[in-house]
């Protein structure tokens, strides 16, 4: 399996995660450019696509209660992943 590098575009990262059956966990991303994560999702998302899981407030991740809520929601998503296929983006918590 070929890995990713830090300078890969959002499009390359999204395709890699989809090809390898992975969830993409990210902080909120901008919607600028043809290879932005938002644009890629709009163009390439299908009913069989794994969702993009976005931490709604990444500045609060260092707070225990917020981090715990994020983890709980992420576990719920993973357990019921079939219900979220094709959903596009999911914000946690």
Domain spans in the chain, listed from the N-terminal domain onward? 10-92
The model's pLDDT over 41-70, given as tens digits with 9 standing for 90+, comes to 999 999 999 999 999 999 999 999 999 999
* pLDDT grade for 78, boundaries at 50, 70 and 90: very high
CA distances for 16 relative to 28, 39, 62, 66, 72, angstroms:
19, 16, 28, 29, 25
Q: What separation in angstroms does the CA of 41 have from each of 2, 22, 81, 88, 93?
A: 22, 15, 17, 6, 20
Provide the whole-model pTM: 0.88
């Amino acid at each position: 399996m070929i890995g990713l590098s830090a300078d890969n575009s959002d499009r390359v990262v999204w395709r890699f995660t989809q090809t390898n059956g992975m969830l993409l966990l990210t902080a909120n991303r901008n919607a600028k450019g043809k290879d932005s994560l938002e644009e890629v999702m709009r163009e390439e998302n299908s009913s069989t696509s794994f969702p993009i899981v976005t931490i709604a407030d990444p500045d609060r991740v260092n707070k225990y209660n917020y981090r715990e809520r994020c983890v709980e929601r992420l576990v719920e998503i993973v357990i019921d992943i079939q219900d979220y296929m094709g959903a596009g983006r999911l914000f946690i918590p």
